Amino acid sequence: MTSPHIENPYLLLTPGPLSTTRSVKEVMLRDWCTWDDDYNQGVVQVIRRTLVGLATRAKGYTSVLMQGSGTFAVEALVGTAIARDDKLLVLANGAYGRRVARIAQVLAIDHAVIDSGERDPPDPNQVDKALAEDPAITHVAMVHGETSTGMLNPIATVGEVVRRRGRIFIVDAMSTFGGIPFDLDELGIDFLVSSANKCIQGVPGFGFVLARQHTLAACEGRARSLSLDLFDQWRAMEEEAGKWRFTSPTHTVRAFAQALVELEEEGGVVKRGERYRENHRVLVDGMERLGFRCFLSEAHRSPIITTFHDPDTSTYVFTRFYADLKRKGFVIYPGKVTGANTFRIGTIGHVYPNDIRSLIAAIEDSISW
Ligand SMILES: *Cc1c(COP(=O)(O)O)cnc(C)c1O
């Protein structure tokens, strides 16, 4: 495996866009016609089928791709899945959960929010109670990996409640899909949304939704936007064999197809997940040895990204720490929690435990404050 350092001046230890392989970047060196079968059948349809295969072993699921960053796909999903007199319950515990609520607000979708705070996961019993008390709620949305803190939220226990209560379950698994194994059907997930530049290790440019086919098929005419009409996009892809309604990010899409091949070559989601877990373990062990403290308790952390408290020293300045590590070949991420001074280090992408060991050595060398 070649070191990403050969291709890039520094490794991206961020939640995406992230470090990708040279081979993913190389397949972008040709142009594609969006009306041609080479692209629609040979690339788009293969991606759509492969995504469904990664998502579940069950029948009855479909996928749809949508131009834009991940948030565009979230907005397309929320705006298309929820009918005029439906109501959405959002479980939030960070910036991405709050963003789902904000989308509902902007689209004038009736919604309620349960915010469990940035250090705690949502409580399934509270969700159960909310659903029992408010029969108007038709959909429940939550984030799997809350990338703003690194929290891994309990989609299995919440999903069990949502299914038992007969509601539609929407999961923003943007930062976990392809990096943490789970089965949509087993967890009762009706809609899942993710994007090209996270754990599949593609480059940015589009998002995708995995959906229970009959649930998506019922969404015709609901969208609050023309370009972000997920149903219409899906119908075009179904009826015209992989055709996007409007210009698709062809090079990004081709790179994503290569990234899916490389995921398979690595041994699938299980193996990739093991590598990310090992990256995370090496990171936390090394950082704790250097005296850094994690923001979240161990039980809530994900292998995707980890939030650390700033060191307790008056001479520490994030921008200086950042610039110093960047010079040494590592780009880290600023913090995104409220009420605590933190920074984040991502452990996904074309990044290996030895890269994390090198990072720890670089940090040890940097902290002479
Ligand atoms: C990355 C991410 C998104 C989408 O962010 P974009 O900047 O729009 O790509 C949404 N939710 C979560 C949890 C994410 O990690």
Q: Ligand 1 pocket check: which of 148, 175, 197, 199 to mutate, most ligand atoms within 8 Å of Cβ?
A: 175
C-alpha closest to that of 342 among 300, 303, 305: 305
**C-alpha–C-alpha distance, residues 261 and 53, integer Å:** 13
Tell me, what's the pLDDT at 369? 59
Measured distance CA(129)–CA(136) in Å, rounded: 13
CA distances from 71 to 77, 173, 207, 243 (A): 10, 12, 8, 22
pLDDT at 2: 45
| Residue-level pLDDT at 314 | 85
Rounded to two decimals, the pTM is 0.97
On whether the CB atoms of residues 318 and 245 are closer than 8 A, the answer is no
Classify strands 88-92 and 111-115 as parallel, antiparallel or unpaired.
parallel
Q: Could you read off the pLDDT tens digit of each residue along the chain, which spans 369 residues?
A: 445 445 789 999 999 899 999 999 999 999 999 989 999 999 999 999 999 999 999 999 999 999 999 999 999 999 999 999 999 999 999 999 999 999 999 999 999 999 999 999 999 999 999 999 999 999 999 999 999 999 999 999 999 999 999 999 999 999 999 999 999 999 999 999 999 999 999 999 999 999 999 999 999 999 999 999 999 999 999 999 999 999 999 999 999 999 999 999 999 999 999 999 999 999 999 999 999 999 999 999 999 999 999 998 888 999 999 999 999 999 999 999 988 999 999 999 999 999 999 999 999 999 875
Scan for tokens 């936390």, then name that residue. 284
Do 300 and 117 form a contact (C-beta atoms < 8 A)?
no
Looking at residue 187, what DSSP letter applies?
A: T
Rounded to the nearest angstrom, the distance between the alpha carbon of 321 and the centre of ligand 1 is: 25
Nearest to 202 by CA among 262, 144, 242, 248: 262
* Closest CA relative to residue 341, chosen from 316, 323, 324: 316
Of 18, 93, 147, best ligand 1 pocket probe by most atoms within 8 Å of the beta carbon? 147
CA of 96 to the centre of ligand 1 (A): 7
Classify strands 191-195 and 206-212 as parallel, antiparallel or unpaired.
Answer: antiparallel
| Cα-to-centroid distance, 151 and ligand 1 (Å) | 14
> Of all helices (H) and strands (E), which one includes residue 169?
strand 168-172
Q: How far apart are CA 197 and CA 354, in angstroms?
A: 22
User: Which token pair is 52?
Assistant: 């469904």
**pLDDT score of 6:** 54
- Pair of tokens at residue 318: 């994030």
End-to-end CA distance of the chain: 35
> Which residue's CA is the nearest one to ligand 1's atom 9?
70
